Amino acid sequence: MAISFETRRVGDIAVVRVAGRLVEGAESATLQKHIDGLMPFGAHLLLNLSAVEFMDSSGLGLLVRYLTRTRNAHGNLKLCALPPPLEEVMRVTRLQGVFDPYASEEDAIADFYHRSDSTTGSFRFRIDILCVDFSSDVQAYVRELLGQVGFGVLTAGNLPDALILLQATRPRLLVINRDLRAARGTHTAEKFNSLADKLTVVELPDGFSRAEAGEAGEVLVAKVRAAIGAPKVGSQ
């Protein structure tokens, strides 16, 4: 099976689900190219290896190399959901302690935000606001807009990822698409909204993505400042 990827961003972390064979040659080169394309946007990477069928020495060496590279860039590379054959590889090579693989994406993402360890290159992110919207363009706009006035902003595009971030980071404010805020009827939606009910919430109005950008941005910044005040300068 040829190697393939599914990638999404959860906050500041690129989560890559890898499937197929991670072996020397075209497969390793393809993964390397994919990771290289992610690095300019942040050095915090999580590889879900649950669908990797086989990994040779070259593939493992590639992971070791990017572990070093991400840490040198003040980020980290974490692995999760290793199938039994890959767990055995880690045990035999004694690299279990180097990678410290996680059972699930949720566990790994939480550790990114909880750990502050200069040895591994992990650090605490500054989190003021979690923005949840279907549109990656809206996420990027809100993140940059509120970042420019001094807030630390994380973004998510769906409720499962937003729930992970909400539990891991405990933001001061939730900025959320109105339809997502109204979602009910699933375990994830109910759990998310039970936590959101304990926070200050600013809903993005219907048509926010189509509104004139300057005016919509001014209104949002004013609402955020009214809700939680000025950003806490220097907090990490």
User: Does residue 233 form part of some domain?
Assistant: no
Read off the tokens for 4.
Answer: 């393939």
Range of the domain at 49: 4-114
As a whole number of angstroms, the distance between CA 112 and CA 123 comes to 8
pTM of the predicted model over 0.85 = no
pLDDT per residue as tens digits for the range 196-230: 999 999 999 889 999 999 999 999 999 999 998 87
Q: Are residues 178 and 76 in the same domain?
A: no
Q: Which of 2, 6, 91 is nearest to 47 (CA)?
A: 6
CATH number at residue 135: 3.40.50.2300
Count of structural domains within the chain: 2
Q: Are residues 81 and 108 in the same domain?
A: yes
Q: Which residue has the higher pLDDT, 64 or 234?
A: 64
**Percent of the chain predicted with pLDDT > 70:** 93
Q: Are residues 110 and 147 in the same domain?
A: no
Q: Which helix (H) or strand (E) holds 109?
A: helix 105-114
As a whole number of angstroms, the distance between CA 236 and CA 232 comes to 9
pLDDT value of position 121? 46
Q: Are residues 143 and 221 in the same domain?
A: yes
Of 58, 89, 114, the last residue of a domain is 114
Of 66, 90, 114, the last residue of a domain is 114
Q: Which of 182, 173, 133 is nearest to 153 (CA)?
A: 173
pLDDT per residue as tens digits for the range 105-115: 999 999 998 86
Provide the residue type at 32 as one letter.
Q
